[in-house]
Chain A
Amino acid sequence: KNQVEQSPQSLIILEGKNCTLQCNYTVSPFSNLRWYKQDTGRGPVSLTIMTFSENTKSNGRYTATLDADTKQSSLHITASQLSDSASYICVVSLEGTFGNEKLTFGTGTRLTIIP
């Protein structure tokens, strides 16, 4: 069964600190892995998308890594800001034709930044 598991479920850190969120998946055949940021009451917004051949991708203070062999990904946030408080969702895409691409969503990590 294709699954995406994220840890921790929730995390509280002080403003300015770094943190790392984890994602393990069993989706196969794998196409790409995405990290989304979802603010409370809003729709998810894409942070990074990585194919199996990429092992790291950055978007400002967000850096995602991917190990396709162990089927693990992480999202590292540097110098956290209050605006980073959100849920972070890992999404893995099953290989398929365009328009019929099958996405498996994790349940997210709820990150809270405190001043």
Chain B
Amino acid sequence: EAQVTQNPRYLITVTGKKLTVTCSQNMNHEYMSWYRQDPGLGLRQIYYSMNVEVTDKGDVPEGYKVSRKEKRNFPLILESPSPNQTSLYFCASTSGGALNEQFFGPGTRLTVL
């Protein structure tokens, strides 16, 4: 089954404790993204990757890092989480072709105390 997986699905942590949210896709897509979703706001892009070892900032990259060492994996790293990073995070993988359809993961709900 074609899918995007994320782990963990839920995470409660404390300020300053480094964490990583993993993302993996089995569709051989080159393009992947990370988004955060907050109440009253549309999804906002954090980082994206156009291929292995190619990443770039989205609209809200501050406080986040990413890496793309393999095509299927695109982890999101919070080196020193802060309470304002409490949010719902989605990883997405984009197909090729004219319409670039996006496939979203199930989401990771992060709470930073």
Which residues of A line the B interface, CB within 8 A?
4, 32, 34, 41-46, 49, 51, 89, 93, 98-101, 103-108
Contacts and interface: CB of A to CB of B under 8 A. Distances in A.
A98 B96 contact: yes
Most buried by A among B41, B43, B94, B103: B43
B21 interface: no
A16 to B, nearest CB: 29
Given A49-B99, A98-B100, A104 B42 contact: yes
Contact of A100 (B42, B50, B105): B50
Contact of A43 (B40, B100, B104): B104
A42 B41 contact: no
A106 B42 contact: yes
Contacts of A100: 50
Given A43-B90, A106-B42, A107-B42, A99 B107 contact: no
Nearest to B9: A41
B82 interface: no
Most buried by B among A103, A104, A107: A103
Given A99-B31, A105-B42, A46 B50 contact: no
Contacts of B30: 99
A41 B106 CA distance: 7
B102 interface: yes
A43 B42 contact: no
B101 interface: yes
B21 to A, nearest CB: 13
A93 B109 CA distance: 26
Interface string B89-100: 010101010111
A105 B43 contact: yes
A89 B107 contact: no
B99 A32 contact: yes
B104 to A, nearest CB: 3
Contacts of A101: 94, 100
Contact of A49 (B40, B96, B101): B101
